[in-house]
Amino acid sequence: MKWVSRFSFHRRLQFTFLILILLPFIVVTFWSYTSVRENVSDKIARSNEETLKVIGSQIEKTVDSISFVSVYFSEAYDPAVLESLRYLKNTGNFGNYGVYTHYNKLKTTANILSVQSLDADLQIMLVNRENRILIGNQEIPVFSELPERLLQESGRLNEQEKISLQWFPYGGTPAAPDYYYAVRFITDPLNQNKLATLYVGIPSHYFRNLLDTGNPESRLSLADQKGRSIAVTGEADNDNEGSLLISEVRIPKVGWLLTSKTPRDSIDSHINREFLVSISVVGLFFLAFLILSMLWAGYMNKPISLLRTSVKQYVGGNRAVRIPVRGKDEVAVLSAAFNQMLDDMNQLLQQVESEQEEKRLLELQALAAQIRPHFLLNTLNSIKVDLLLSGDEPHGAMIDALMKLLRVYVHVDKPLELAEECRVLGSYVQVMQIRNRLDIAFECVLDGEAGAVMLPRLLLQPIVENAISHGFSARPQNPAIRLEAEMEQDLLKISISDNGRGMPEDKLQRLNRRLQGSEDTALWPEKGVGLVNTARRLEVLYGYRARLSAQAGTEEGMTFTLYIPITSEKEAVPLDDPDADR
């Protein structure tokens, strides 16, 4: 049996199946298959023909409904309908009450007539001479223009034909159009002038559902009188007509042709009765195969048992256990992969132990880093107290404002309410006006619930910094910054205005392009970096709806506007550390 080990287990099973089961089964079943094939084919052909007749009858009912709707409008049995068609033949909108009244008359009539075609989900459109849709489905606006492609397709029809329906496919592909339209031109019985055009479209899903017999092996198709495809279902398709079982039924009222094509190969699945003799013969070989498989099971179980024992030893703590690899079959490949997995697991365990040690050292460093900001804040607090006690209130106030900014920088990763952000900006302005020797007036106006919205910290600080650094570089007499915030539906609008020197129109447009990301920032790397970073930060945090734009002030200066999407949920987030200055 050593020569057998050169083959995989899969190949061994294949050879056994071929010798003991497959070949005898083919010999026994061949003659029975050929004897019943033609009988089953005839039965399936008759069944397919009956199915096509039922489908054709249903299509005829739908065509009758379409004919009834078209005749009712074209023959103008209702004088009120005729009057409305005359009134609306050149109308393009609801210009007066008369248009509305006549539109309601047509709509009421169309609703009554459309009840007959609910099952087919027809698309009924009544179009006046100006190609404006008077009556259509709910998603089609009244007096909207007829689609250009539909207008082109219907333009090939004969407008002199006023008795019979004219058909044409629309949309999709030539093999499966989206709609198959019936068109009738409605004329005035008095002077034969055109009043409107009636479009009745049968959707493709109606034909697909109708032609779907539940047999994916059969291909059902429907074609019109000109041979154009209306609908196709199923996947069976073969250029060789001899390998197909074909049944055809023509719908007399419209001349459409229903065709069913079933591959003869699929008929083999229906031939089961003639195989009783074959099964009895195969049973004898199966018994022999069963006995042989039991012998093979013991032989194949040995390497599997070895693999199972090795797994138990590794789980028990023996990391040095490995499986000996012999041969080239599947078990040998599995054993080699198992040994490699054990090596990888040992390496991974060592890596995890090393990472845990590094993590412990990083945690110690992080704890040490947290002590430094607290020490600095406590020291500044002591200096502030000494300054206030000595009567130096300006410098004490500056130290206090600086402490507030440091607290924000310490917890920069935590969100902050807009109202609190305004107070932080006030502290920042206070520090900057002392630093730049400017008396800056800062005003914050929050409308309604805008102050309670949570925002990332220091989101607005670059805009205020830009106003001070650039807008007030000419040192105006009364510098002022005003922040306004209000809710606009689900958007928070924040406007920050200053009365600085402003910006020329060309530079303003270039700045807006940079804020929108439509201009390469490498062209002007030294200008507007803070503003561009703020715009990118908005986009990353809140998505495409968030934006930052710049406008010239009403009289002077600049106005920067932020639009931020806001969800309905608001979460209270702890802000500064209460022990920061103790």
Q: Assess contact for 467 and 481: CB atoms under 8 A.
A: yes
Distance (Å, rounded) from C-alpha 96 to C-alpha 147?
25
Q: Is 579 exposed, middle or buried (0-12, 13-18, 19+ CB in 10 A)?
A: exposed
Q: Assess contact for 505 and 478: CB atoms under 8 A.
A: no
Q: Assess contact for 183 and 166: CB atoms under 8 A.
A: yes
Question: Nearest 5°: CA angle at 400, between 396 and 401?
Answer: 120
Please tell me the least confidently modeled range out of 219-223, 336-340, 387-391: 387-391
The predicted pLDDT at position 581 comes to 38
The predicted pLDDT at position 441 comes to 92
The predicted pLDDT at position 261 comes to 85
- What is the tens place of the pLDDT at every residue in 518-561? 776 555 544 557 888 888 888 888 888 899 999 998 878 999 99
Residue in 261, 267, 203, 266 with CA at minimum distance from that of residue 234: 261
Main-chain dihedrals φ then ψ at residue 561, nearest 5 degrees: -120, 130
Tokens for 480? 């002022």
Residue 31 has pLDDT above 50, yes or no: yes
Confidence of residue 582 (pLDDT cuts 50, 70, 90): very low
Q: Assess contact for 185 and 162: CB atoms under 8 A.
A: yes
Helix/strand/coil for 251: strand
Give the DSSP letter string of 375-403: HHHHHHHHHHHHHHHTT-HHHHHHHHHHH
Q: Assess contact for 474 and 500: CB atoms under 8 A.
A: yes
Distance (Å, rounded) from C-alpha 398 to C-alpha 431?
6
Tokens for 188? 């005035």
Whether this prediction's pTM lies above 0.85 is answered by: no
- What is the tens place of the pLDDT at every residue in 176-213? 888 888 888 888 888 888 888 888 888 888 888 888 87
**Does residue 391 or residue 293 have the better pLDDT?**
391
Q: Among the ranges 87-91, 326-330, 378-382, which has the highest mean pLDDT value?
A: 87-91
Residue 219 has pLDDT above 50, yes or no: yes
The predicted pLDDT at position 378 comes to 58
The predicted pLDDT at position 14 comes to 58
Question: Nearest 5°: CA angle at 230, between 226 and 233?
Answer: 135
End-to-end, the C-alpha distance of the chain in Å comes to 86
Main-chain dihedrals φ then ψ at residue 462, nearest 5 degrees: -60, -30
Distance (Å, rounded) from C-alpha 86 to C-alpha 190?
11
CB neighbours (10 Å) of residue 119?
A: 12
CB neighbours (10 Å) of residue 336?
A: 12
Which residue's structure tokens are 């009222």? 253
Q: Assess contact for 464 and 456: CB atoms under 8 A.
A: no
**Does residue 54 or residue 79 have the better pLDDT?**
54
Q: Is 489 exposed, middle or buried (0-12, 13-18, 19+ CB in 10 A)?
A: exposed
The predicted pLDDT at position 131 comes to 85
Q: Assess contact for 427 and 401: CB atoms under 8 A.
A: yes
**Residue 408: in which H helix or E strand, if any?**
helix 393-410
Residues in the chain: 582
Radius of gyration over every alpha carbon of the chain, rounded to an integer in angstroms:
42
Residues contacting 389, CB < 8 A, separation 6+? none
Average pLDDT over the chain, rounded to an integer:
77
The predicted pLDDT at position 442 comes to 92
The predicted pLDDT at position 571 comes to 35
